[in-house]
Amino acid sequence: MQPDPATTVPVPAPSVRRIGKLSRPAFVLLVLGALALISIICFMTLGAKGSWSFVLPFRGRKLLALGLVAYSVAVSTVLFQTVTNNRILTPSIMGFDALYVLIQTAIVFFLGIGALGTLNPQAQFAAEVLVMVAFSGLLFQWLFLGEERSLHLLVLVGIVFGILFRSLSQFMQRLLDPNAFNVLQDSFFASFATVDTSLLVAASVIVGAVTIVGIRLMHTYDVLSLGRSQAINLGVDYKRTVVIILTLVSVLVAVSTALVGPITFFGLLVASLAHSLLGTSRHKYVLPAAVLLGIVCLVGGQTVLERLFAFDTALSIIIEFLGGVVFIFLVLRRAAR
Amino acid sequence: MIVAQGVTKNYGTSCVVDGVSLTLPAGGITSIIGPNGAGKSTFLSMISRLMSMDMGTVTVAGLDVTKTPSDVLARRLSILRQDNHMTARLTVRDLVSFGRYPYSKGRLTLEDKQQIDDAIGYLNLGELSDRFLDELSGGQRQRAFVAMVLCQDTDYVLLDEPLNNLDMKHAMGMMKLLRRAANELGKTVVLVLHDINFASWYSDYIVAMKNGKLANQGPAAEMIDPKVLSEIYDMEIKVHEIGGQRISLYYE
């Protein structure tokens, strides 16, 4: 039964406290949007020397990369937490990005460093994403598709997988010749100052495609956050929907890891902040809020560090520190209950 | 009418539900009773497609639950389990609104809003409707979930131990409400119950399970019988008639 558009009314949201004429989520989104805009303007203009025709495209590419990272990390974390029905685990904590690093290392290890140079970086990136999706599909679907499992088991499995992937990568890296290792390691150190801009076109296309699929599933997210049995009871095709969402999550993790390297706690930071600022779990608010928070953190943080303090690679450390604090806080609060 | 044929579920080598075939009548309240580990909840989960079955078929109103699209079933059959852990922070009204999801996929129509108000009123949740679920007591939460299931407006309502965590007053209120839903709204209510006196007082039909098998079934009046109950529970159970109702005593 399709709703008659004429009688469609907005979803009631009496729960939200109102600030002025705006509901609380709308107010939060407005403030975050303004902050993100200010960050972007500052990032593009502050400390610009020389011709604008050089500065704007140069910084624009970096801005696009940071934006894609913020978007990928925020959306993948929120959706992953919705599907797994928890607020502590994120794709990075479960070892998704370690998997990506492993795939890249394996390529260099088995095909040689020449493979990185001779292949078209965009085509190589697309291939890596495909491998990533296939592997994560095999590895993680059995975890989330069967009957419900305890969160503690998932945390342990995630940590074990993460260590396994990292150890395998490190083992292969030890056997590489120093030149190859050097090139490889460069891409694994999370850095927002030296984003890899050669993949921007491929990354934008992929993120765009993910977004189109994601928006078509938008109505299922709130229902999935009620948990598996309620989602099935309410008629969501659970298995199919979760497979699609986990695939989207793997693709987004691949995009962000390829652009800036693995970042463990950033997603947790923005997702938790979005939830607590909004006071509601509705995805139509949480998803944009998390993305805007990500942009404020990355673009704003990078601007402040580069222009005010002239630091270069410290942003990832600061973000990881804050995110780690949030993680410990969440774990402790859960234990206290 | 719910028809189960040869329904079987194994966990590893142990058989939790072993070839259960039965027909539950449409309309009225049917209670599933039995000792711990009899497979009652597993059986209910399989009827409601929450759990896959290893063998057998279940049809609800002629629809095969494993083959019918989930969203079609969601308009005919609803299930409420005991464990409703969720991370989403919702108000009572938000939760009840989800009951309309099978019909409107998140875009509520005026008719949906009416149904939501009706369900909230039916469970006397009017004053609580803007409170968050984590601010409510266990009994109030339970009522909110039942309101959601009623808002789903399905002919078949399945509940797994709906009286858990409820005190006497709320347990009685819940059973009266289900009775009203069966009588006034013509619902078919199937529930797993532990308290055989609640089963005796409020159900029309009782199904007993033991060790994964169907142990006995029949109208409530026939099932609440010392011999029948003693066999199901492996203990002595006396049945007294008090004020026209059969009450079991098993405390000695």
- A contacts of B149 (beta carbons < 8 Å): 233
Domains assigned to chain B? 1-76+155-252 (3.40.50.300), 83-153 (no CATH)
Q: Which residues of B touch A147 (CB under 8 A)?
A: 51
State the pLDDT confidence band at A119, using cuts at 50, 70 and 90.
low
Find chain A residues with C-beta within 8 A of B84's C-beta. 227, 230
- Read off the pLDDT of each residue in A280-297 and give the average, rounded to a whole number: 92
pLDDT of residue B206: 92
Residue at token pair 């389990």: B81
Residue-wise pLDDT tens digits, B69-105: 988 999 999 999 877 777 788 889 989 999 999 998 8
Least confident of A83-92, B71-80, B179-188: A83-92
Chain A partners within 8 Å of B88 (Cβ)? 222, 225-226, 281
Helices first, then strands: H and E counts in chain A: 15, 2
CB B63 within 8 Å of CB B76: yes
Please report the DSSP string for A87-123 in residue order: SS--TTTTTHHHHHHHHHHHHHHHH-HHHHHHS-HHH
| Residue in B75, B98, B109 nearest the CB of A226 | B98
**Which residues of chain A does B108 touch, with a Cβ-Cβ cutoff of 8 Å?**
3, 8-9, 11-12
**Has residue A13 got a pLDDT over 50?**
no
B38 close to B234: Cβ distance less than 8 angstroms:
no
Name the minimum distance, in Å, from the CA of A26 to any CA of chain B: 17
Give the per-residue pLDDT at A16.
46
- Interface test mutation site (partner B, options A81, A85, A234, max chain B beta carbons within 10 A): A234
B98 SS3 class? helix
CA distances from A107 to A113, A116, A163 (A): 8, 8, 19
- Residue B200, pLDDT > 60, answer yes
DSSP letter for each residue of A160-218: HHHHHHHHHHHHHHHHS-HHHHHHHHHTTS--STT--GGGHHHHHHHHHHHHHHHHHTH
Domain extent listing, chain A: 65-336
Residue A148 confidence (pLDDT):
58
Whether the Cβ atoms of residue A238 and residue A232 lie closer than 8 Å to each other: yes
What totals of helices (H) and strands (E) does chain B contain, helices first?
A: 10, 12
| Percent of chain A clearing pLDDT 90 (strictly above) | 17
The ipTM estimated for the assembled molecules is 0.89
Q: Specify the CATH number of the domain A65-336.
A: 1.10.3470.10
Residue B205: both structure tokens together: 């039909």
Q: Which helix (H) or strand (E) holds A20?
A: none
A297 CB-side CA count, 13 A: 30
For residue A282, give how far its alpha carbon lies from the nearest alpha carbon of chain B (Å): 8
Parallel/antiparallel/unpaired status of strands A18-19 and A22-23? antiparallel
CA B37 to chain A, closest CA, distance in angstroms equals: 18
A185 phi, psi to nearest 5 deg = -60, -35
Probe site for chain A from B94, B97, B141, B190 (most A CB atoms < 10 A): B94
Average of per-residue pLDDT across A168-194: 76
Contact (CB, 8 A) for A66 and A204: no
At A227 the pLDDT is: 84
**pLDDT of A135 strictly over 80:** no
Residue A58 has pLDDT above 70, yes or no: yes
